Amino acid sequence: MTTPEGDWTITESRSAVAAFLASLPLRPRLLALGEPNHSHDAFPAGRNGLLQFLAETHGFRSIALESDVMAGQRVNAYVTTGQGDLNDVMQTGFSHGFGDRPANRELVVWMRAFNTGRENADQLRFYGFDAPLENMWAASPRASLLALQAFLSRHLAEVPADPALLTHLCGEDARWTDPAGALDPSKSIGDSPEARRLRVVADDLVGLLQTETPQLAEQAGFWEAEVHARTAAGLLRYHAVIADPAPDRIARMLALRDLMMADHLCAIARREEARGPTLVFAHNAHLQHHRSVMKLRDQRLEWWGAGAHVGRRLGPSYAFMAGTRAPGPDEDAAEAAPVR
């Protein structure tokens, strides 16, 4: 079943979204709001007001942003427990430069205030759901592989890799984040003998985590171990495509990034199901149901975004509203509407 798409105007977002939610066949587990670009402040500002409304009147208990899933854990620690310094959290807890957006700082401050004095079960959680990558580079899988191996070693007697092997195969992080690889596949580490072996090792570690889930699921840190497993495997696939000189490599990179996003979003929906729905916020291209299209110089790039995957998996439990710029002379005017 295709999930409905709704429309809303930022200045009247509360009543419009309430009406939209009432029109759905069931309450969505993920309510996704899109923005047409990352430079228009009206959208994240409107998102903040909408989260407050949804948290106070519709039982929403989490928000997921288009930002590094690993870094987002620092933001969540701050908004739930006050751990860390706000300035540091804004600099290290977001990717894509989103920590510099005033609305995101306002969001973090408000979430911390909302959570203060509340029981853990009633607190708002913060999630990133993007991979640790930027336009010109992607992170090394080292940190996630080591974290996954450490979790498995704490609870299982036999683990198919040790930290020394993983550290040796990964090498220096700079080998993975070298932006030259984005422009020249031959300069990418993604198809090196070390990277190919790491993909096998990562598959073994992820497989062990999955086969032993009945034993491990109740252990502290299992959620984070699953995040590391998805991230490590996804990054290794992504780096392999960076190293592939095929003409469709960029479209495949975009597709893999969105697939990682979709996997994280579905995991968030499962984790939060008993607590309440999640508000999701990202670029329209990541959240829409139909195929995404982008022009890059003389290329037309097409791929399936995260929303297409999530909508397929969750059906009516996923609802999407796309942001668009409103026509007219007022440059600050903005609204969200269906993208057909």
Nearest to 82 by CA among 37, 104, 115, 105: 115
Output the pLDDT for position 324: 78
Residues 162 and 244 in one domain: yes
Question: Do the domain assignments include residue 77?
Answer: yes
At which of 249, 264, 299 does a domain end?
249
- pTM exceeds 0.85 for this model: yes
Q: What is the overall mean pLDDT for the chain?
A: 92
| Tens of pLDDT, residues 35-66 | 998 888 889 999 999 999 999 999 999 999 99
Residue 126 is part of which domain span? 29-130+278-285+316-323
Nearest to 288 by CA among 35, 12, 25: 35
Residues 83 and 155 in one domain: no
Q: Roughly how many angstroms between the first and final C-alpha of the chain, as a whole number?
A: 16
Output the pLDDT for position 19: 87
Residues 149 and 245 in one domain: yes
| Tens of pLDDT, residues 186-209 | 999 999 999 999 999 999 999 999
| Tens of pLDDT, residues 230-285 | 999 999 999 999 999 999 999 999 999 999 999 999 999 999 999 999 999 999 99
Query: Any idea what the CATH number is for the domain that residue 105 is in?
Result: 3.30.1870.10
CA atoms within 13 A on the CB side of 85: 4
Total residues found in the chain within this entry: 340
Residues 109 and 143 in one domain: no
Question: Do the domain assignments include residue 150?
Answer: yes
Q: What is the mean predicted confidence (pLDDT) over 144-168?
A: 97
Residues 59 and 114 in one domain: yes
Residues 211 and 181 in one domain: yes
Question: Do the domain assignments include residue 272?
Answer: no
Tell me which of 246 and 299 has the higher pLDDT.
246
Residue with tokens 């290290």: 92
Parallel/antiparallel/unpaired status of strands 137-138 and 318-321:
unpaired
State how many domains the chain has.
Answer: 2
Residues 149 and 204 in one domain: yes
Residue with tokens 């090498």: 171
Question: Do the domain assignments include residue 256?
Answer: no
CA atoms within 13 A on the CB side of 153: 10
Residues 123 and 197 in one domain: no
Query: Any idea what the CATH number is for the domain that residue 226 is in?
Result: 1.20.120
Residues 91 and 195 in one domain: no
Output the pLDDT for position 325: 65
Residues 153 and 109 in one domain: no
Question: Do the domain assignments include residue 85?
Answer: yes
Question: Do the domain assignments include residue 23?
Answer: no
CA distance 153 to 147: 10
Please determine, for residue 67, whether its predicted confidence score (pLDDT) is greater than 70: yes
Please determine, for residue 12, whether its predicted confidence score (pLDDT) is greater than 60: no
